[in-house]
Structure 1
């Protein structure tokens, strides 16, 4: 089991309210949570040490880890994979990406079966074939976060050379702390959003799911 959060419920509720706490405070609390999870820190350190360009741990491995800490569940509860992204525009071949996948897996053998490693510079080359709709070429790894099906998913972490956690969340972190799934309408991802929401609601019953289409007021 995890150790749970050291924060009282009122403090967690404050982080969940975008007007009750600053984003700086939310970033600091998420960094504290992630810093308390050994396998996440090993992962971030291994990715940093591989010196991959513009490399980050993103999405479920972060927000679902935080949910498990906040709800005192086992740290790996509900986590299908850990998404590691990087951006290398110098070689868009699958072969080059496969080499990086092998390097990351070799650096983290104990969790290799949970790792999903992707070069964001080449996503547009295969996305349409897999999902049936086009996807624009990205400019950098963090550009990808703006296209995720849920705004809540858009969070990234990396470790710098001084072992400091860096976090990026283009839509903020209030929804993460509120355990609230909010759609991102930048891409026509309704089916993906609904499927993910159903799975996550079953695993974290506390989760509030905002419908893809909000009824007119």
Structure 2
């Protein structure tokens, strides 16, 4: 069982599994060309690739989009982020998937309007990854210029390989976690979805 391997073995297995997703590998290869500070491909596209491979599905099955996070506090204007997004649109053109690029230094400017709770400013991309609604999705990968993989996995990889969805009540409201988990379980019924802990974390519903 992969989740019982030593951490270095789990990392090797993660890389082998993610390599089965050709779209993901192309996103990783192209993202580096943008030269974005602190960038990672992150969230659902990674864990869902693992879920697909572990359950015998096509590696890209059910993946809604591919998230690229970066952190640039030098210019917090929407215009600066939009310029990066437009550059990415050209770079990722032709891929059979949507690639979403976000500057995590700006999240605190819009998060409360969208989700109903305030988000303190992040100080790095890793801090943003730490705040995902499910700890299982707290995972980021990038390929360095020398070809080495950099993997950020603050909660380890056992839940990812064991198909366990675990809540992370540090920022996102309970409703966000439950909505995401319900969608995931429809697509991957093999998942074990753990309940939001009673009395933990923000209880607000998303705005709109």
| TM-score normalised by structure 1 residue count | 0.87
Q: By how many angstroms is 1:23 displaced? A: 2.0
Q: By how many angstroms is 1:159 displaced? A: 0.6
Q: By how many angstroms is 1:124 displaced? A: 0.2
Determine which of 116, 131, 136 is the counterpart of 1:132: 116
Alignment: residue pair count: 199
For 1:152 and 1:174, how far apart are their aligned partners in 2? 9
1:84 equivalent to 2:68? Answer: yes
Determine which of 54, 77, 90 is the counterpart of 1:70: 54
Note the aligned Cα RMSD (angstroms).
1.6
1:29–1:74: structure 2 CA closer, same or farther, 3 Å change rule?
A: same
**Helix, strand or coil at the partner of 1:109:** coil
Determine which of 96, 99, 103 is the counterpart of 2:80: 96
1:112–1:88: structure 2 CA closer, same or farther, 3 Å change rule?
A: farther
| TM-score normalised by structure 2 residue count | 0.91
Q: How does 1:171-186 map to 2 (within 5 A)?
A: 171-186=155-170
Structure 1: gaps spanning 5 or more residues: 1-13
For 2:175 and 2:75, how far apart are their aligned partners in 1? 32
For 2:97 and 2:58, how far apart are their aligned partners in 1? 18
* 1:52 aligned residue: 36
Determine which of 91, 116, 141 is the counterpart of 1:107: 91
For 2:191 and 2:198, how far apart are their aligned partners in 1? 17
Please list every run of at least 4 consecutive aligned residues from structure 1 whose deviation after the TM superposition is greater than 4 angstroms.
Answer: none
For 1:55 and 1:95, how far apart are their aligned partners in 2? 19
* 1:4 aligned residue: none
